Amino acid sequence: MRPGIGVSPGNVPVYYGGGHLKAVERRVKVAEVVLRWVIFGLGVLAAALVASDTQVTNIFSLEKKAKFTDMKALVFLVIANAIAAGYSLIQGLRCAVSMIKGSVLFDKALALVIFSCDQVMAYVTLAAVAAAAQSAVLGEFGQSELQWMKLCNLYRRFCSRVGEGILSSFVVSLGMVSLSGLSAFNLFRLFGNNKGKTRG
């Protein structure tokens, strides 16, 4: 770090000798902020689509109402997406503030926390999508060997809404997986910058 650039604790302005690395890092930063806001939007969309989804159908003159709480996997999906959206909002704001300030994350502990949180969110959203997709497949096709009848022919509109919600959540989980990769990159960068001065 050159003296006189103005160091603030945690955040310091970017300075690198190599212009190439600087360009890569700028791109990573833009990708991170875009991904965080896309995940926020899609997370809210997925949670809203599934949570607000209901359909009333008459089966043999019996009125039946389908709602997302009928299936535990969908409840888990809504909760996971709500958490992912909330988390991405906070992180998106952090990224936006650091972009406006023109500063770059330089705190190892914070970078490690962000990487760990991104990992946890990636695991949670992926597990939620997998469980919900399994339920959706059962709803759509049934499982004749187990006498579980398909239901989506009865609740067409309900099922397509859930399908859109699952698709949206899938993109959210892929986004969280990508963000984990970006956060890992940020962490490597920090370890590469500050350590190893006495070695080589």
Binding site residues, its own copies, CB under 8 A: 1, 16-17, 66, 70-73, 115, 119, 122-123, 126-135, 137-139, 143, 145-149, 151, 177, 180-181, 184, 187-189, 191-200
* Look-up of token digits 């490690």: 112
Q: How far apart are CA 138 and CA 141, in angstroms?
A: 5
Ordered DSSP codes for 134-197: HHHHHHHH-BGGGTB---TTTSHHHHHHHHHHHHHHHHHHHHHHHHHHHHHHHHHHHHHHHS-T
Q: Which is nearer to its own copies, 92 or 155 (CB)?
A: 155
- In angstroms, what is the minimal distance from the CB of 87 to its own copies? 18
* CA-to-CA dists, residue 183 to 43, 60, 101, 113, 187, angstroms: 20, 55, 20, 10, 6
Residue-level length of the chain: 200
Using DSSP's 3-state secondary structure scheme, residue 4 falls into coil
- In angstroms, what is the minimal distance from the CB of 98 to its own copies? 20
> Residue 57's beta-bridge partner residues?
64
- In angstroms, what is the minimal distance from the CB of 183 to its own copies? 10
- In angstroms, what is the minimal distance from the CB of 198 to its own copies? 7
Q: Which is nearer to its own copies, 31 or 131 (CB)?
A: 131
Q: Which is nearer to its own copies, 47 or 124 (CB)?
A: 124
Q: Which is nearer to its own copies, 44 or 126 (CB)?
A: 126
- In angstroms, what is the minimal distance from the CB of 96 to its own copies? 26
- In angstroms, what is the minimal distance from the CB of 168 to its own copies? 17
Q: Which is nearer to its own copies, 29 or 189 (CB)?
A: 189
Q: Which is nearer to its own copies, 47 or 80 (CB)?
A: 80
Q: Where would I find the H helices in 1-155?
A: 19-51, 72-101, 108-141
